[in-house]
Amino acid sequence: MRWYPNADDQTVLTRHPSPVARETTTTRNLMQFTTQQHQRSAAIHEAAHTVLFLEAGAPVRSVLIRVLRSDADTSGDPLGTTDIGHYSDRLEPFLTALAGGERAEDRWMRETGLWNPVRAWASERHALHDRDYARQLVRKYLKHDMTCGITDQGWTDYLALHTAADRALDRVWETVLTLADALLERHHLTGEEAARIAGSIR
C-alpha cells in the first residue's frame, strides 16, 4: 500500500496525499468542520486511546478535550489529551492504543458520512505526536526503524499498527462512542471515572 510524502515535509508519510492549498492555512481549517464536529472528532480520538489503553492495562490518569468557543477557533493547539502513567507491560497493545485515536476518527467520519480524503489526511497529521511516540518505542524495544505502508503484519510498520487498531476498535466501538459522549458532556474525566464508564458498558 503506497503512503505519500507530504508536500510541506517529505519525511512525513501518510496514507492519504496532502492536499494542495492555494494559501497558508491549518489542517483544522482544511477539514471544514463545525465547532461541534471538531469537538466530537477530538472526543472520539481520545476515547479510543483511553479505552484501548485501559484494555492494555495502562494506568490512565485523565482524559480531556479542549472547549472550542467558535468555528473561528483554529489555533494549532491539541484538542484533546490522554494522560498515561508508567507502563511496563506488553508493547503490542500499547502500540495499538497509540494508533487507535486516528483510526477511530477515520471510522467515525466514514460512519457519519463526513469522510473525504482531505479530512482523512488532516486526522493523520493531527496524530503525528502519537506516531512519533510509537516510532520511539519501536526503535527502543524492537530495535527497528518504523516503516509506513510496506506490510500490515508485525509491529514495525505503521500500516500494521493501523490494522491492529482497526481490529481492536471492532471489539470496543460502542464503548468508545459512549465514552466520547461523556467527554463531550464533561470535557475532563479522571482515569477512575473513565474506567468506570468504560467498564459499565462492556
Q: Spell out the residues 6+ positions from residue 11 whose beta carbon is closer than 8 angstroms to its own.
A: 5
Structural domains of the chain, count: 1
pTM over 0.85: yes
pLDDT digits (tens, 9 = 90+) for 94-139: 999 999 999 999 999 999 999 999 999 999 999 999 999 999 999 9
Mean pLDDT of 66-72: 70
Asked, for residue 166, whether it belongs to a domain, the answer is yes
Amino acid 22: pLDDT: 61
- Would you say residue 201 has pLDDT above 50? no
Asked, for residue 14, whether it belongs to a domain, the answer is no
Amino acid 74: pLDDT: 52
Quick one: CA dihedral 123, 172, 81, 154, positive or negative?
Answer: negative
Q: Which of 152, 202, 142 lies closest to 177 in space, CA to CA?
A: 202
pLDDT digits (tens, 9 = 90+) for 10-62: 999 999 999 986 665 788 889 999 999 999 999 999 999 999 999 999 999 99
**Average model confidence (pLDDT) for the chain?**
92
DSSP code, position 4: E
- Residue 40 and residue 59 in contact, taking contact as beta carbons nearer than 8 Å: no
Domain of 147, in residue numbers: 28-200
- Would you say residue 177 has pLDDT above 90? yes
Where is average pLDDT lowest: 15-24, 32-41, 155-164, 166-175?
15-24
Asked, for residue 13, whether it belongs to a domain, the answer is no
Asked, for residue 146, whether it belongs to a domain, the answer is yes
Asked, for residue 43, whether it belongs to a domain, the answer is yes
What is the β-pairing status of strands 4-5 and 13-14?
A: antiparallel
CATH code where residue 54 lies: 1.20.58
Asked, for residue 2, whether it belongs to a domain, the answer is no
